[in-house]
Chain A
């Protein structure tokens, strides 16, 4: 649109026609205060804080609802405007309880800031304030009515942003009150967006209630460890008896791919880390019982037995199961450890999407994968299968925002009437299990139509949908895990102009586990097991015969040929439905946070740190690489990275070959002045933030990340941007040739908003909300 020129406080500025006056002022650094105005939500004009004087208009105007016009002359700081703001704050404070000392928002309250900046110290009102007791709307949402200033942000973000519409307004005028959808309580997605967006302390969080005050916490921006969308979350941590306790999660700085969005899991479900059932001591099986032991004993025993089994029976007798929730560095290290130290290709993980097939289909074609940011800007989106509202909350948010703000067209092909159909320009409800046929049909195979006609999806409507899709350019295609093997290639090769693809996996680093080669027949970067690969040159002689998958490992253990199993942060017994007694003859080492079904049958259980307690990188399901930073700390656990290295050391392996540490910047990590627990790590965070990489110890993931960037082509991203906290898209099209796998090895986790595998079992908040009552039984829940 054409640019218009206007004058604000004597400053000339130009902005595109249609810009709101408040945004135009912001663009030249003139602050116009407001409560009800919030970018990307509908306009309200309720708080009257943004009043400005516009020449030739008789009264003051609200800058948040006024669109700029040519030659406009605006004053935002005249005596009249200042007086108006002062009166507005006075009116807002008229019935505000001023209980800042006991209010959780105290210290980060917009009303406090406004009162300091624009308000008067004294009020004219003499009347007694109208008090109402605080209400609890759900385990995580509290409402304090007198504190509410009726800006309606919560109502709008819940309705427009989340498409939940659980909050509304009762009564009118001064009697207006925010009300939940079920009379006295809320039944919703419990995302906490209303709490986050509330400018005052009217809506407060049950999980954070009275725990601390904002200025008492350290804030660490890291990546969420729950679903595969990779939201950035800022964790507030406070020192506790056992290290650093995480007390709050939000993303108020709006950094990262998710802006200020977080779902219930990102916002509240960090509490599994402080579960009382957490393991904090290594356990060794003695006389048939797991009993506490020292780290030295545990590492020595694990190293001795692994070394003996490798010498006596060869590497084929050892199996390794990796995790979808450990960092890229740990997955890479595990892959390297298995091949280099154990000499085995028996490496696998719980697969939730067919990334090797996607790598194979996109081989040599770069720019055909979509990032999470692309979903927000694409002109059209096709969603096949999956229910993002439940399984990929950020993806759903991006789609809804794109449809609402940029009028993108959403097309949904699903066997269920999923909620996102409400935003869809085209929706086809196909029979259950017909996703593969849908792909064949979209790729041009009209014979597949017969399998798709179902309820409202008629032959004509489906053909019309396909025609519409073919007319779209710049389509983003997100597909569920039902699309596997050859179907992925069929979809990628269908005739959609300029389409970009997203394979939807289920866990925080499922993509990373696949990218880092936790497969029996693939090395990191989807490279095949050849003798002349980059990895063979770097790592030395590697086994080239494809190894065993998890079910095959169980069969081999039953047959007595698998003598040892090393499980890092996974629960294959529950997830693959394996018979735990299959491994009774094998030596089993398990690294986990809790005594899972798999840990229960182990000979050695090593207590592991979770992703909130270590550093590294995660890759989300789109391929966006992001930093993971240490926030919490629990005494008595070690990172999986350190444990792998120490087992290699106990096996007598030269550790420097495994982790090429040393040679980096030498820095005093505080040891010379006797740094306290946690302090050294903060120092390393500082070093990283300034682009200095320590690489001093064999437990430093940066040393491995160097190697990943050197050897995996799709990870050639800007290190500078990554360290600055930005997401970096990795293009699977630049990876190796991939492979065709048995489609039955992909087992969807089926986690919803209120479950999260093993983590969800131990999260108090997730289990306390009533919406969780329909969740599957723990034994059916995905486990790593």
Chain B
């Protein structure tokens, strides 16, 4: 009886093997794959380089509370805070991050900063191609991590007229 049982088990196993052979391939062909991601595929939860989010008005969500820096186990976040003024409003609260650097030499992508953030300003994006020949290029500045101004904040927005007049692009730029 055990022979029949064994044959049954082999048949069950091989059916999965042959069944998979008929499915389309799931092997990633990075970096030779198609599209801007060059074949790379991500789960939604993948923790890549950070993105600093904006609120519905296009203002930065970060209020420079330093909680991400406090939570960071590798001490890679550097912040300098400054005060919003009526003329120059950067964030929704009283203060904003004048300087926000993440040192990707040290970052271990643990996500504690994202958990600590009280305003959901810092999130993990899907950026992963940060390899470089120059270590100093791994210190990312705020401008490199900020999410683009949302589409509805284009030339109709009252919030960024000054920026647009000063030469800022009215519409979001790819990769900015």
User: A interface vs B, CB < 8 Å?
Assistant: 99-102, 106, 134, 209-213, 215-216
Contact = CB atoms under 8 A, between A and B. Distances in A.
Given A210-B81, A210-B82, A213-B66, 18 more contacts: A100-B65, A101-B65, A101-B67, A101-B118, A101-B119, A102-B63, A102-B65, A102-B93, A102-B95, A209-B83, A210-B83, A210-B95, A212-B81, A213-B65, A213-B70, A215-B70, A216-B69, A216-B70
B109 to A, nearest CB: 22
Contacts of B66: 212-213, 215-216
Interface residues of B, number: 15
Contacts of B56: none
Contacts of A212: 66, 81
Contacts of B82: 210
26 contacts: A99-B93, A100-B65, A100-B118, A101-B63, A101-B65, A101-B93, A101-B118, A101-B119, A102-B63, A102-B64, A102-B65, A102-B93, A102-B94, A102-B95, A106-B65, A134-B94, A209-B83, A210-B64, A210-B81, A210-B83, A212-B81, A213-B66, A215-B70, A216-B66, A216-B69, A216-B70
Contacts of A106: 65
A215 to B, nearest CB: 6
A211 B81 CA distance: 6
A134 B93 CA distance: 12
Contacts of B67: 101
A215 B69 CA distance: 10
B140 to A, nearest CB: 18
A134 B94 CA distance: 10
Contacts of B70: 213, 215-216
Contacts of B94: 99, 102, 134
Contacts of A99: 93-94
A563 to B, nearest CB: 50
Contacts of A209: 83
The 5 closest A-B pairs by CB, nearest first: A101-B65, A210-B81, A213-B66, A101-B118, A102-B93
A496 to B, nearest CB: 56
Interface of B: 63-67, 69-70, 81-83, 93-95, 118-119
A335 B15 CA distance: 96
A101 B95 CA distance: 10
B81 to A, nearest CB: 4
A601 B109 CA distance: 58
A628 B65 CA distance: 32
Contacts of B118: 100-101
A66 B171 CA distance: 67
A134 B85 CA distance: 13
A209 B81 CA distance: 9
A511 B70 CA distance: 43
A211 B69 CA distance: 14
B8 to A, nearest CB: 57
Contacts of B64: 102, 210
A238 to B, nearest CB: 10
A102 B66 CA distance: 9
A608 to B, nearest CB: 28
A136 to B, nearest CB: 11
A280 B81 CA distance: 27
B125 to A, nearest CB: 22
Nearest to A240: B80
A504 B85 CA distance: 46
A211 B83 CA distance: 10
A210 B95 CA distance: 7
Nearest to B121: A101
Contacts of A102: 63-65, 93-95
A218 to B, nearest CB: 14
Contacts of A216: 66, 69-70
A161 to B, nearest CB: 30
Contacts of B119: 101
B108 to A, nearest CB: 20
Nearest to B64: A210
A478 B69 CA distance: 50
A100 B93 CA distance: 11
B91 to A, nearest CB: 9
Nearest to A209: B83
Residue of A106, A210, A212, A216 most packed against chain B (CB within 10 A): A210
A99 B63 CA distance: 10
A106 B64 CA distance: 12
A106 B82 CA distance: 16
A134 B70 CA distance: 27
B72 to A, nearest CB: 12
Nearest to B83: A210
Contacts of B83: 209-210
Contacts of B65: 100-102, 106, 213
Q: Give the one of B66, B83, B118 with max A CB within 10 A.
A: B66
Contacts of B69: 216
A99 B65 CA distance: 10
Nearest to B119: A101
B145 to A, nearest CB: 19
B116 to A, nearest CB: 10
A310 to B, nearest CB: 50
A92 B108 CA distance: 40
A687 to B, nearest CB: 24
A100 B66 CA distance: 11
A112 to B, nearest CB: 13
A210 B66 CA distance: 10
B42 to A, nearest CB: 30
Nearest to B117: A101
Contacts of B63: 101-102
Contacts of A210: 64, 81-83, 95
Contacts of A134: 94
Nearest to A213: B66
A106 B70 CA distance: 13
Contacts of B81: 210-212
B84 to A, nearest CB: 10
A152 to B, nearest CB: 26
Nearest to B78: A239
